[in-house]
Structure 1
Amino acid sequence: MNLGIEIGGTKLQLVAGEGANIRHHIRYAVDKGRGAAGILQHIEATIRQLPDALDAVGVGFGGPVDIRTGCIATSHQITGWSGFNLADWLRQRTVARQIRIENDANVAALGEALHGAGRGFGHVFYVTLGSGVGGGMVIDGRIYHGVSPGETEIGHIRLDKAGTTLESVCSGWAVDQEIRRAISGLSDRSVLKQLVGTATAGEARFLREAFDQGDETARQILNRIADDLAFGLSHVVHLLHPDVLVLGGGLSLTGEPLRAAVENRLLTYLMEAFQPGPTVRLAELGENTVPIGALSL
């Protein structure tokens, strides 16, 4: 039996099984106050509860890692991870013959490439639109790696010389702020304003419903996101020319309106020889994208 682990800033997920076949699934909310120690305690307790010995362990970690040593470089959200050798820690607590530690975006890309929206394609590029923006490239079933310490950091692609990055305008956090600013000047008749109500975080989750109800502000924001995302992805296409672009993360739950808008706008940014460009798909594995990818490591 294999174990797949997702270590994020807000949640910890552990799944046991093979490939996309999950036999056991445990989810914990991360207590930031307890730092890395609290997360490690949950992992150790879960390993002890598993009925079978582990053959392999794969981890998708929310931050930069050294894939050769299994050492965590840092976490931008949880204290206590910097310089921690997670692979050695897992070896001391399991009999697993193989332990792999990867960045969570790479792991999510692998999950979608093998078992989700990228099935059947040789070159898959995955972009996750969450609290930040990350990416991963899978070629013929294997994660593409550049020179350490990282690769395919699409969130840090600049959209202009002033320093605007894709992450600064297309992350869930950035869209939350944009919605907050927009509705402050709208009348109480605004559908988007009514849906957001007194929410003080996660405003982006109301974008699709407002869009479906014909809210003009929601339409403008969604089109702006799609345009900036398409422009960023055009650089990916010109450099790597993947078969398929997969949109994942919380913001991708905006769904078909966002997917279609990105695909349409992408055409306007591609050189003629590369048109019609790769197909654009929505991620299919949902919250299990990283855990299934970790099992697939």
Structure 2
Amino acid sequence: MKDYAFGVDIGGTTIKLGLFETKGNLLEKWEISTITTNNGKQIMPDIALAIENKLKERNIFASEIEGIGIGVPGPVLDDSIVNKCVNLGWGIVDVAEDLRRLTGIEKIKVGNDANVAALGEMWKGAGIGHKNVVMVTLGTGVGGGIVLNGQIVSGCHGAAGEIGHIKLNEHEEEKCGCGKKGHLEQYASATGIVRKSQELLRDTNRNSVLRDIHHLTAKEIFDSARKQDELALEVVEFACHQLGLAMAHIADVIDPEIFVIGGGVSKAGEILLEGVKKYYTEAVFHTCEHTEIALARCGNDAGMYGAVKMIL
């Protein structure tokens, strides 16, 4: 195996890049802006240029690079082809072939960003020692990644791990971002948690410190719940219930060794973790009751680590 590899995590605002030794050490990480204008046509050339510049800076030859792993916010087929990615302006794009042509580096693998982050957590984070990992990412939306027997599960359409779109409520009237209704993302994402709080503040006269907050965020709701604000506690309990229930559904099908919860909302810590564990245990099939549930450890680096792990 060659000495070095690159891990790339493409987001809607920034692209995170990491130069790794192939024995697993992260040597350096940096970011560039994601330019999504003109249907994202500048993204791959920008990544190629960033890699070329880093090789020159480090006096490393392309022949010393084992490969480049890439995580993208969309479904991926055959470790190569992105099957539409709205956040980047892409339709169907053969990312691996494009970057191969631009860099001259032959070994390039592409995966969905949440799946890749799950692989990163399995390798270097909360999932160390496990080969069957489900990661749930709680941010603006709810994402997910599945690793079974040490391998990313992508599915035949590249959509495996779309945990946020598990339907939980037949009676929901508001639409999810995907256009359908009653999905986990509407209840356990940062957006969903704020929405639930706003509904209770609007529809009731209950006292709550949340009424005094001009720009409400999920963090403030969790902080208020820790201080025993009753309305905030109800919102947190509701979100934990929905997430625990969805995870129980997943466990009944996949039976992972561990669930890893990441994303911005996961920074709420123990109040989130304990709530989810309670409702998960109530709902899941008895043989899965003791599945480990942990908070992610790699933070924003999980995608880079997972991208490199695909190559290694």
Under a length normalisation based on structure 1, what TM-score does the superposition of the two structures give? 0.89
Letter of the 1:105 counterpart: A
Residue of structure 2 in register with 1:218 after alignment: 232
Change (3 A) 1:84 1:246: same
CA distance in 2, matches of 1:29, 1:142: 30
Q: Is 2:12 the counterpart of 1:9?
A: yes
The CA RMSD measured in Å over matched residues stands at: 2.3
CA distance in 2, matches of 1:233, 1:95: 42
Q: Is the 8 A contact 1:208 1:255 kept in 2?
A: no
The structural deviation recorded for 1:141 is 2.0
Q: Is 2:211 the counterpart of 1:197?
A: no
Residue of structure 2 in register with 1:42 after alignment: 46
2:83 to 43, 63, 73: 73
The structural deviation recorded for 1:16 is 1.1
Residue of structure 2 in register with 1:120 after alignment: 129
CA distance in 1, matches of 2:194, 2:34: 22
- Which SS does the other structure have where 1:91 is aligned? helix
Change (3 A) 1:237 1:190: same
2:294 to 281, 284, 293: 281
Q: Is the 8 A contact 1:270 1:277 kept in 2?
A: no
CA distance in 2, matches of 1:190, 1:168: 22
The structural deviation recorded for 1:44 is 2.6
Change (3 A) 1:176 1:20: farther
1:97-136 Cα distance to aligned partner (Å, 9 max, x none): 3110111111011001111111112311111112222222
CA distance in 2, matches of 1:86, 1:92: 10
Q: Is the 8 A contact 1:57 1:100 kept in 2?
A: yes
Q: Is 2:171 the counterpart of 1:159?
A: no
Residue of structure 2 in register with 1:178 after alignment: 196
Residue of structure 1 in register with 2:25 after alignment: 21
Q: Is 2:187 the counterpart of 1:169?
A: yes
Gaps of 5+ in 2: 172-180
1:164-192 Cα distance to aligned partner (Å, 9 max, x none): 11122222222232234444578897433
The structural deviation recorded for 1:249 is 1.3
1:195-234 Cα distance to aligned partner (Å, 9 max, x none): x4346xxx11323322222222221111111100011111
Q: How do 1:234-273 residues align onto structure 2 when only pairs under 5 Å count?
A: 234-272=248-286
Under a length normalisation based on structure 2, what TM-score does the superposition of the two structures give? 0.85
1:17-72 Cα distance to aligned partner (Å, 9 max, x none): 1365221211234354464134334313211211322321101100112225x122
CA distance in 1, matches of 2:24, 2:184: 31
Q: Is the 8 A contact 1:186 1:193 kept in 2?
A: no
Gaps of 5+ in 1: none
- Which SS does the other structure have where 1:125 is aligned? strand
CA distance in 2, matches of 1:263, 1:95: 48
Q: Is 2:311 the counterpart of 1:294?
A: no
Question: What percentage of residue pairs aligned between the two structures are identical?
Answer: 29
Paired residues in the alignment total 290
2:93 to 84, 93, 96: 84
Greater shift, 56-65 or 140-149, is seen at 140-149
- Which SS does the other structure have where 2:245 is aligned? helix
